[in-house]
Amino acid sequence: MLEVLRHRTFRRLFTAQIVALVGTGLLTVALGLLAYDLAGSNAGAVLGTALAIKMVAYVAVAPIISAVTDRVPRRALLVSADAVRALIALTLPFVDQTWQIYVLIFLLQAASATFTPAFQSVIPSVLVKEEDYTRALSLSRLAYDLESLLSPILAAALLTVISYHSLFLGTVVGFTASGVLVVRTVLPRLGAADRIVPLLRRITLGGRVMLASPVLRGLLVLNVVVAAATGLVVVNTVVYVRDLLGGSNTGVALALGFYGGGSMLVALCVPRLLTQVSNRRLMLTGSVLVPIGLAAASLMLFIAPPRGIGWAMLAVVWVALGAGTSMINTPSARLLRDGSTPDNRGAVFTAQFSLSHACFLLTYPVAGWLGATTSQFTAAAALTVLATLAAVVAARAWPVTTAPTAEAVPVGR
């Protein structure tokens, strides 16, 4: 897998991704502490609102920015996004009102919604060989999983010697270093949309390309499967560990580690697996594993096992959910690359970024609000049904014999 790092351009881009992820991880911890300073016991509401703002920015802003900046060179766009994120992180230590957090988070996430799809869409033009691109996707998945595990540990270590306000400076350093690495990298030029075409047509181009392809329609539905598992884990892990198992905050971190470990295990195996099975088989296998894991979580809540058995069940289920989501997420960019052309690739990757995050606007409330107002069993059961239906629809939408080739969708159609 590490052989792909011999490619100089990708090595710099991947390093930029790593340092930006570390900066984001430090920001997450610092933001939580800042919210507690400003809101006290209402910090959860502040962070919940910030999370909703993040999703709105990802869903609504990303396609617009992609269309407006379609003629901007990718390197300039990536560096500009990093610069904006660094400047916003630099202002966060001076915040003294919750509304200021909301405004700055929206701007920060709008910049991230610019950076991430543009970054993802340029990699296929850098790594043209199938095996190199697959290895790059696995490395990228590992980077995301390792960041979620290691950034809180790094933040905890730093907080023993500095205040949480200084963590924002670490975020600034991360985004700045990412920008410096990108500016020193020569990137291939991507095709630009025809400006004669109305803006609304350019904004919806990526979505129209995806809807025109049976393979990418299947991917759109698989996003719901991923969101169902992620919603349960992100929103309710703390409830399961603290209330059901009587665990501590350390136990919550350990449970999240099980989920990340399952994801990393699959990411390590994907390059080899995809030499033996198709994208479709691997991803649909993940779409079967996720509902099984969610059903097991529902069963665990229903029977309320003793603490030791409960921990064993939680570990197995969370590893399975992490593995299932990684089976879907890791190869997904291969479908986007094969289902797009250099002229519309940026729009297609942006559409996937936006629409996949739109699924969280459904599953997060189901996991959180339904669990709080009815029961955790009801929430888990509802997510199980949702993931199962999505898996069935995806399997029917994605024909066995259809190759994921780019669809000819005119920008102005």
**Segment 185-233, tens digit of pLDDT:** 888 776 555 557 777 888 888 999 999 999 999 999 999 999 999 999 9
Mean local confidence (pLDDT), 71-79: 88
- Which residue among 174, 203, 232 closes a domain? 203
Q: Are residues 236 and 164 in the same domain?
A: no
Angle at 370 between CA 369 and CA 376, to 5 degrees: 115
Task: Average the pLDDT over each of 21-30, 102-111, 133-142 and give the range with the smallest value.
Answer: 21-30
Mean local confidence (pLDDT), 338-354: 90
Mean local confidence (pLDDT), 364-393: 92
Domain range enclosing 323: 205-399
Q: What is the pLDDT of residue 384?
A: 97
Does a structural domain hold residue 413?
no
- How many folded domains does the chain comprise? 2
Mean local confidence (pLDDT), 118-122: 88
- 413: confidence class by pLDDT, cuts 50, 70, 90: very low
Mean local confidence (pLDDT), 321-348: 92
Task: Average the pLDDT over each of 81-85, 153-157, 390-394 and give the range with the smallest value.
Answer: 153-157
Q: Are residues 245 and 374 in the same domain?
A: yes
Which residues 6+ apart lie within 8 Å of 174 measured at CB?
19, 20, 21, 22, 23, 24, 26
Q: What's the pTM value of the predicted model, to 2 decimals?
A: 0.86
- Which residue among 168, 203, 238 closes a domain? 203
Tell me the CATH number at 164: 1.20.1250.20
pLDDT of 91 above 50: yes
Q: Are residues 26 and 139 in the same domain?
A: yes
Q: Are residues 178 and 216 in the same domain?
A: no
Does a structural domain hold residue 352?
yes
Q: Give the span between the Cα atoms of 199 and 215, in whole angstroms.
A: 26
Which tens digits make up the pLDDT trace of 150-163? 776 777 778 778 88
**Residue 187 DSSP label:** -
Q: Give the closest residue to 340 by CA, choosing from 191, 218, 195, 135.
A: 191
Q: Are residues 124 and 209 in the same domain?
A: no
CA 57 to chain centre: 14
Does a structural domain hold residue 178?
yes
Does a structural domain hold residue 193?
no
**DSSP string for residues in 191-247:** P---TTS-HHHHHTHHHHHHHH-HHHHHHHHHHHHHHHHHHHHHHHHHHIIIIIS--
Task: Average the pLDDT over each of 104-113, 151-160, 330-339 and give the range with the smallest value.
Answer: 151-160
- Which residue among 141, 172, 203 closes a domain? 203
pLDDT of 406 above 90: no
- Within 13 A of 22's CA, how many CA atoms are on the CB side? 18
Hey, CA dihedral for 147, 149, 152, 157, is it positive or negative?
A: negative
Q: Are residues 2 and 79 in the same domain?
A: yes
Q: Are residues 26 and 166 in the same domain?
A: yes
Q: Give the closest residue to 267 by CA, choosing from 133, 135, 129, 123.
A: 135
CB 326 within 8 A of CB 289: no
As a residue count, the chain comes to 413
Which residues 6+ apart lie within 8 Å of 115 measured at CB?
20, 77, 78, 81, 82, 85
Q: Are residues 214 and 354 in the same domain?
A: yes
